[in-house]
A = this chain, B = another copy of it.
């Protein structure tokens, strides 16, 4: 597919006139990363940001002893690595491709120039960053004020939502990953899933989960019940 076509489908660039899309295509570069490849590392200096066109990328922090906390998982259409663009400091976290992926790369200075001439691009970017701040707000709230079962329940409900509110949902990643996303470790996640299953809140079959007691999960997520 043409680069310009790909660009025109990205939500961040929604509503831009054709000539501006052209300008964007003029500065953009396509890059491929195999599954498992490091896209950038915390502390590295940044010369631009990325948008996923295919595949999946994980943004995460890691502690000296190897525990990891996932900050974001991004798929097609989503930008990442923008913070340094507007702030001029190194990347604040690590990024790894979780699948063979293609990204469009926008060099920092050229992109900033484009924004200067394009208020609606600026507003779109402000909206992206705002949404991300809101998400972090939720993440901090979860990590600091909820326990793991509550976070897991919230996540299951979120997945159900994403997947047309069915009661049958699929965890879209290995359970070890999910643990990192929820701020815990695989063993703990495993135990809690087992407990939820024992209490008939859910039924587990590999990475497929059936929600048997939605209200029970809601209560857990809100912190009004405990497991």
Contacts and interface: CB of A to CB of B under 8 A. Distances in A.
Given A64-B223, A119-B115, A122-B119, A141 B86 contact: no
Contact of A144 (B69, B83, B116, B223): B69
Interface stretch (A30-38, A131-139, A153-161): A131-139
B145 A144 contact: no
B126 A116 contact: no
Contacts of A131: 87
Nearest to A182: B144
Contacts of A172: none
A61 B137 contact: yes
Interface residues of A, number: 48
A92 interface: yes
A144 B87 contact: no
Nearest to A119: B116
Contacts of A134: 83, 87, 89, 92
Given A116-B119, A126-B86, A126-B122, A67 B133 contact: no
Given A61-B141, A65-B223, A136-B136, 9 more contacts: A64-B222, A86-B130, A115-B119, A115-B123, A116-B120, A116-B123, A126-B126, A136-B137, A140-B140
Instruction: Name the 9 nearest CB pairs between A and B, nearest first.
Output: A122-B122, A63-B145, A136-B136, A116-B119, A69-B144, A86-B126, A87-B130, A129-B129, A86-B130
17 contacts: A61-B145, A63-B145, A64-B222, A64-B223, A69-B140, A71-B140, A83-B133, A85-B130, A87-B134, A112-B123, A116-B120, A117-B119, A119-B122, A126-B126, A129-B129, A129-B130, A143-B143
